[in-house]
Structure 1
Amino acid sequence: MTSTPPADRYGSTTRTPRPKRWIAWILTGLVVVAGAGIAYIGYTKFAVKDVEGKQISFDIVGDRTMNIQFTVTRQDPEQAAVCIVRTRSKDGSETGRREVYIAPSPSQTVEITAPVKASQPPAMGDLYGCSSQVPEYLRAG
């Protein structure tokens, strides 16, 4: 015969299950990793860039040529930069692309007009992006 001790004297004999400590550590780790990921994405998206380009206009010059006009602003104007401009056809597909070397200059902001050859009649042109990491084959020329 089993007897149970009196609850008023010894307390309840049923245990309430406690969550495992490792679950709390794993959840804490996941929160820290997620926070670091969000901080990294925010920094790369909203940080001040050393080179920034802004498209001004595009002009269709011929059946397969377009001039794209844009400005480039650099933190250090004595540093060379490269910008990629492209043309697109009516359906939105890329039909022409060109890398434009931006030489060092005394001015922080320079205005460039770059002709771009296209494989089909161009309908629009845009500035794809700019960087201070100039490929060696552009520097040599």
Structure 2
Amino acid sequence: MTDTSATTAPTAAMFPPGRYGRRRAPRTRRPWLVALLATVAVLVGMLVTVRLYTLYGDPTYDPKVITYTEATTDGILIDFTVTVPPGGSANCLVRARSHDGVEVGRDQVTVRAEPGERQIRTTYRLATERQAFLGEVIRCQPVG
């Protein structure tokens, strides 16, 4: 009579000898490796956050384009406002693009507020390499 599943002990799996290769020993766990990778991931995330904040952050220096006019082959007039801390000043990056989206002019503009003033309105004539289609203020940062 042969053994059936009802008569064998369920202690270990039965495999035919030589059929499935040799069994591997269980691998040792490395919790320090998981902790190291998690720490590196957090540090990289923090560096990316700091970099993006320095490029696009600080809502205190908030530029808004009011209008862009007088687009010619050699320049465009950009009228914009910047919100700054009272009495502060800002460096603003302005650019002009052509109809096909190519950048045709870029410049750094420094604007200063009067004491107690938070909104600075500025009109700036940006020189361009060819016909401009639109003017933009990319970002403003504190003078420093």
Q: TM-score, normalised by structure 2?
A: 0.66
The number of equivalent residue pairs is 118
Q: Relative to total residues, which structure has the larger helix share, 1 or 2?
A: 1
Q: TM-score, normalised by structure 1?
A: 0.67
8 Å CA contact retained: 1:68, 1:116? yes
Match of 2:81 among 71, 79, 87: 71
Match of 1:19 among 5, 23, 28: 28
Report whether the alignment pairs 1:31 with 2:38.
yes
Q: What 5-or-longer segments of structure 2 have no aligned partner? A: 1-23
Q: Secondary structure at the match of 1:120?
A: coil
Q: Distance in 1 between matches of 2:108 and 2:136?
A: 12
Match of 1:99 among 96, 108, 115: 108
8 Å CA contact retained: 1:58, 1:69? yes
8 Å CA contact retained: 2:112, 2:120? no
Match of 2:132 among 109, 116, 122: 122
Matched residue type, 1:100: V
Q: What 5-or-longer segments of structure 1 have no aligned partner? A: 1-14, 135-141
| Shift, 1:83, TM fit | 0.7
8 Å CA contact retained: 1:82, 1:102? yes
State the percentage of identical aligned residues: 26
Residues 12-52 of structure 1 show CA distances to partners (whole Å, capped at 9, x for unaligned) of xxx953524xx321211111221233244346448544422
Residues 39-82 of structure 1 show CA distances to partners (whole Å, capped at 9, x for unaligned) of 443464485444222223211343322111221111x2323211
Report whether the alignment pairs 1:80 with 2:84.
no
Alignment RMSD: 2.7
8 Å CA contact retained: 1:71, 1:110? yes
